Structure 1
Amino acid sequence: MQALSAVRALFDDYPARYWIAGGWALDLFADRVRRPHTDVDVLVLARDLDQFADTFTNPRPTLEDPNTGVHRPWEPGETLTPGPDVLAFPDDLFPAPVRIILAASDADDWVYHRGRGTVRKPLDDITLMTPDGLPYLAPEIVLLFKSRSDRPKDTEDFTDVAALLDADRRAWLRAGIEPRHPNHPWLPALT
């Protein structure tokens, strides 16, 4: 939890929305640390990149190549794409590496960048809060991202959390996965 405290302190002056994402968000939802984590994913809206750049000047995050993991300087104003483009803070500054994932949005809706604009949810509905006010991403959104991969940790995350999802969250996740992956192995658990 030290890593999450560091992220909270890092984002203390950030004026826009942000969410703890990835495996840590699922841990917050499950109210327990389910497995070790190598980093902390933080979701921010791509439309807020100017505010992000104004807030995080020293150190300035770098742009991480999604294929190689190589970092290069990020220049504010540079066009970044939700999904493949990831910003990262220097790893040695925090208890765990902090990765910034960019999200697409449309007015008050989060929009899944792979869903051609059809998979969306109101920003207020994707936002959950810890008792002390740390925002984290709703589990169905995290699992939708994780459903694209067959990494063992993603399957483990789904297995650990699926039973905790209420009927609405299960139905939404199923509707997000099924059109693109009608034979996805997670679908039977979402009925």
Structure 2
Amino acid sequence: MHLEVLNAVRALFADYPGRYWIAGGWALDLFVDRVRRPHTDVDVLVLARDLDLVAATFTDPRPTVENPNTGDQRPWEPGETLTPGPGVLAFPDDLFPAPVRIMLAASDGDDWVYHRGRGTLRKPLDEITLTTADGIPYLAPELVLLFKSRSDRPKDTDDFNDVATDLDPTRRAWLHDRIAPRYPDHEWLPALS
């Protein structure tokens, strides 16, 4: 698998003392151990409670705050509160083989908490963490697909179709049981049943 961009992320985070995960489409590629499609960037997930660690680690260059809808960027000052979901930090696009974006995750103690809803959807941080043979941490596929299930973008449906058969029954049931109550007619549900 071509990992130049992921090795660049690992080098970038080498001194970062908090947890981080490769997320998005790259996480699904790591799960199935093949590059399934071209990627325009690399999403890296960190815990929102660790923003002070992000600020202390990434000082030169300091990431900027990016509007995920428009791509507009503005300076980020340490101490500024950013929230999971809309809070995205971006490094200058020309520093790495692909743009690197930091997404923020809600958490409570040792649990990841889905930032949408009332905080009732959670999973232990150790359970959402998978690691490649050479030590790159990435987000469990059922979480990546949960985020993608809210979209009707063709690439998200393609991502689901590419990896659905690789999900074991536990991951498949977990994802089904999280999508069905909110989207009872979701097109992915038959494949997850």
What TM-score results when the alignment is normalised by the length of structure 2? 0.98
Specify the alignment match of 1:180 in structure 2. 182
Specify the alignment match of 1:153 in structure 2. 155
Q: After superposition, what is the alpha-carbon deviation per residue over 1:150-189, rounded to whole angstroms, capped at 9, x for unaligned?
A: 1111000000000000111011111111111111110111
Q: Which runs of 4+ in 1 moved over 3 A?
A: none
Q: After superposition, what is the alpha-carbon deviation per residue over 1:2-43, rounded to whole angstroms, capped at 9, x for unaligned?
A: 110100000000000000000000000000000000000000
Q: Offset of 1:124 from its aligned partner?
A: 0.1
Q: What SS does the corresponding residue of 1:102 show, helix, strand or coil?
A: strand
Q: Determine the C-alpha separation between the residues in 2 that align with 1:64 and 1:164.
A: 33
* Residue from 110, 122, 125 that aligns with 1:123: 125
**Structural RMSD (CA):** 0.6
* Residue from 83, 87, 90 that aligns with 1:88: 90
Specify the alignment match of 2:21 in structure 1. 19
Q: After superposition, what is the alpha-carbon deviation per residue over 1:119-145, rounded to whole angstroms, capped at 9, x for unaligned?
A: 110000000000011100000000000
Amino acid at match of 2:142: E
Structure 1 gaps of 5+ residues are: none
* Residue from 58, 61, 64 that aligns with 2:63: 61
Q: Offset of 1:115 from its aligned partner?
A: 3.1
Amino acid at match of 1:187: L
Q: After superposition, what is the alpha-carbon deviation per residue over 1:44-93, rounded to whole angstroms, capped at 9, x for unaligned?
A: 00000001100000000000012211000001111101011110000000
Structure 2 gaps of 5+ residues are: none
Amino acid at match of 1:73: P
* Residue from 55, 77, 80 that aligns with 1:75: 77
Amino acid at match of 2:154: P
Amino acid at match of 2:114: Y
Q: Determine the C-alpha separation between the residues in 2 that align with 1:169 and 1:128.
A: 13
Q: What SS does the corresponding residue of 1:19 show, helix, strand or coil?
A: strand
Specify the alignment match of 2:35 in structure 1. 33
Q: Determine the C-alpha separation between the residues in 2 that align with 1:182 and 1:109.
A: 26
Q: What SS does the corresponding residue of 2:184 show, helix, strand or coil?
A: coil
What TM-score results when the alignment is normalised by the length of structure 1? 0.99
Q: How many positions carry a matched residue from both structures?
A: 191
Amino acid at match of 1:96: A
State the percentage of identical aligned residues: 80
Specify the alignment match of 2:144 in structure 1. 142
Q: Determine the C-alpha separation between the residues in 1 that align with 2:117 and 2:179.
A: 10
